[in-house]
């Protein structure tokens, strides 16, 4: 089955700097890769996603890149702000699995220092 690895587990950046979180997946059939942000005690919120037919997607300060050959994808946050502090999870779902269940990475705790 699919396995998703995420790193780093913690990331501390200065406000205004960029943050990059990386994930690798094992199942080459995976075709959908969402990123979720989870603040303490709150629900995971979808912040951006990408499908396998796209190499990059951007939404304001957030971008995701996908390298299908290497089976990895990354989240890029530019001009970080204190409110970006949260735990970020990547996930993948395999094309051949009709459930479209999400297989999550273990999370990255991002701290943006003011």
Partner 1 sequence: DTGVSQDPRHKITKRGQNVTFRCDPISEHNRLYWYRQTLGQGPEFLTYFQNEAQLEKSRLLSDRFSAERPKGSFSTLEIQRTEQGDSAMYLCASSNRTSGSYEQYFGPGTRLTVT
Contacting residues toward partner 1, per CB under 8 A: 4, 6, 32, 34, 36, 42-46, 49, 51, 89, 91, 93, 98-107
Phi and psi, residue 12, nearest 5°:
-120, 125
Report how far residue 31's alpha carbon sits from residue 108's, in angstroms, rounded to the nearest whole number. Answer: 22
Whichever of 60 and 98 has its CB closer to partner 1, that residue is: 98
Sequence-separated (6 or more) residues with CB below 8 Å from residue 34: 46, 48, 49, 50, 90, 91, 102
End-to-end CA distance of the chain: 41
* Least separation in angstroms between CB 79 and partner 1: 26
Q: In the complex with partner 1, which residue's Cβ is closer, 78 or 111?
A: 111
With respect to partner 1, which residue has the nearer C-beta, 40 or 114?
40
Rank residues 77 and 92 by Cβ distance to partner 1 and give the closer one.
92
At closest approach, how far in Å is the CB of 34 from partner 1? 7
Minimum distance, C-beta of residue 15 to partner 1, in the bound complex (Å): 25
What phi and psi values does residue 84 have, to the nearest 5 degrees?
Answer: -80, -10
């Amino acid at each position: 089955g699919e396995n998703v690895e995420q790193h780093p587990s913690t990331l501390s950046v200065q406000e205004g700097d960029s943050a990059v979180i990386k994930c690798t997946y094992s199942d080459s059939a995976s075709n959908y890769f969402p990123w979720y942000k989870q603040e303490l005690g709150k629900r995971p919120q979808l912040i951006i996603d990408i499908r396998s037919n796209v190499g990059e997607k951007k939404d304001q300060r957030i971008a995701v890149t996908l390298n299908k050959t290497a089976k990895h994808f990354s989240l890029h946050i530019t001009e970080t702000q204190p409110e970006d502090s949260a735990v970020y999870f990547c996930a993948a779902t395999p094309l051949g699995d009709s459930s479209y269940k999400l297989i999550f990475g273990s999370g990255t705790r991002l701290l943006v220092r003011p």
